[in-house]
Amino acid sequence: MWKLSNDSQSLRTMIQFSFVLLCLWIGIEFHLFMRWGLTAGGSAYVTRPPGVEGFLPISGLISLKYWIEGGIVNTVHPSGMFILLAILASGLLLKKAFCSWLCPVGTLSESLWMLGEKLFGRNLRINRWIDYPLRSLKYLLLFFFVNAIAQMDVPALRSFIESPYNKMADAKMYLFFANISSFAFWTVIVLVLLSVVVKNFWCRYLCPYGALLGAMSILSPLKITRQQKSCIDCELCTKACPSAIKVHKAVRVWSDECTACYKCVEACPVKNTLDVRLRTDARPVPGWVFGSLVVGVFVAVTGLAMLAGLWQNSMGKEEYLHRFQELNTQAYEHFGSGGTTDASGR
Ligand code: SF4
Ligand code: SF4
């Protein structure tokens, strides 16, 4: 415990891998649920884990808009919306901390560039004239999704939420990866290889979630703060930064790429010179407090949804069995291609 409270990187690694284990547990439970559904109830029933909805961010965003404009928490994928809310709350308060402390894709991405560093001695630095336009790609993707959702009025949002496609979106996502096409397979392989040679390739250039959190993180009151008086300009902070931010030149790090990973703080050799603070003259926030806040915000938002009885969706075993049988029909292809409710109103 003493080591964890004094070593932000060990604490961060422990939290990251705990979250990966949680996601693996959700994945195994969902796999068993899918096996039950795909065998039409022929194998043992395992309850569908609501946490799987964390991997349906578009559905979560639509649910959030429906809640704000329609005043209704939908019962199709409610946990997806609360997971999204927890991530947005952490972005608003704690910069892009979700990316470097909790996100399993962020953890995989970090493990891959560390592997690349071990194999090749260093990672590839993309020239800034290419880096800037590439970084804007994730904002374009985010704009595409947010703009499409912004055009939807409450009836259109309800129609999407109640569509057969959305109701089984988690099952469709599972089948996408279980029966992955060769194009999608090779795309994943290319992304993995690029992530080995370039630090956080997916997160830095393509992840719309990262773009959303990056935009929100500008508002975050907590920022990496450098004390100019005691700084000895050794540049160790800049060398340690996986987001290629020139920390040694900043007083407060405003960059949308800062994930509050504390690597620069850990690298600084002068005590109380580089920390996370509310203001330049405020008290530093130790890594263990920051890590507890990241986990705390996530647990608080999702826990409140559980306590309020808004976590589980309303689809029962019987409805799932019925939908699994027609999963390959056109109604489930994608929203808009015949996605209608059936005669029973489901
Ligand atoms: S500035 Fe510091 S906290 Fe932010 S990404 Fe770089 S190393 Fe991590
Ligand atoms: S590591 Fe610390 S002392 Fe060195 S340049 Fe960065 S802030 Fe200044």
pLDDT digits (tens, 9 = 90+) for 147-185: 999 999 999 999 999 999 999 999 999 999 999 999 999
User: Can you say whether residue 336 is alpha, beta or left, with left for phi > 0 and alpha for psi between -120 and 50 degrees?
Assistant: left
- CA 248 / ligand 1 centre spacing (Å): 11
Contacts of residue 169, defined as CB under 8 A and 6 or more positions apart, other chains included, come to 56, 59, 77
The pTM (predicted TM-score) of the whole model is 0.91
Residue nearest to atom 8 of ligand 1 (CA): 261
Rounded CA separation 302/300 (Å): 6
- At what angle are helices 8-38 and 287-307 packed, to 10 degrees? 30
Say what the pLDDT of residue 1 is: 67
What residue ranges line ligand 2, CB within 6 angstroms? Answer: 226, 231-237, 247-248, 267-268, 270, 273-274
Q: Residue 233: nearest ligand to its CA?
A: 2
| E strand intervals along the chain | 223-226, 274-277
- CA 172 / ligand 1 centre spacing (Å): 37
The answer to whether the Cα torsion of 24, 29, 32, 33 is positive or negative is negative
Contact 258, 244 (CB under 8 A): no
Confidence of residue 328 (pLDDT cuts 50, 70, 90): confident
pLDDT digits (tens, 9 = 90+) for 36-92: 999 999 999 999 999 999 999 999 999 999 999 999 999 999 999 999 999 999 999
Residue nearest to atom 8 of ligand 2 (CA): 231
Six-digit token string for 21: 């284990």
Residue nearest to atom 1 of ligand 1 (CA): 258
Rounded CA separation 41/45 (Å): 7
Pocket test for ligand 2, best of 274, 275, 277, 280 (most atoms within 8 A of CB): 274
Contacts of residue 147, defined as CB under 8 A and 6 or more positions apart, other chains included, come to none
Rounded CA separation 68/58 (Å): 15
Say what the pLDDT of residue 343 is: 35
| Planar angle of CA 56, 54, 198, nearest 5 degrees | 85
| Ligand 1 atom with least separation from CA of 259 | 5
Listed residue (82, 68, 207, 91) closest to 139, CA to CA: 207
Rounded CA separation 102/291 (Å): 10
